[in-house]
Amino acid sequence: MLQLGKAKGYAKLQAAVEPALALGCGDEAAVRYLMQSKSENRPPQETLEVGWLDRYERSLLVVNENEYDQLLAAGVQ
């Protein structure tokens, strides 16, 4: 990362490392991406209405703890 700071500037490096660490990431590729994405002037993305996707929404199966234990025990045998 020091080479990245030397090439792009230490202020830009610090500005990319701080949010990466706040997100719990210290990977060089992530820091490099944050440095690159901050230098690009992209217009903000518009929010899309995806209400029609709720037709794919399904309720979750409710399984009590005893049934779940029996299911796991059956898989072991």
pTM check: above 0.75 = no
- Let me know the angle formed at the C-alpha of 47 by 42 and 51, rounded to the nearest 5 degrees: 155
Q: What is the pLDDT along the chain (77 residues), one digit of tens a residue?
A: 888 888 888 998 898 899 889 989 888 898 888 888 766 677 888 888 888 888 888 888 888 888 888 888 887 65
Query: What is the Cα–Cα distance from 70 to 30, expressed in whole angstroms?
Result: 43
User: 């991406």: which residue's tokens?
Assistant: 33
Give the list of residues 6+ apart from residue 5 with CB closer than 8 angstroms, or none.
Answer: 12, 13, 14
| Rounded (10°) CA dihedral 11, 13, 15, 17 | -150
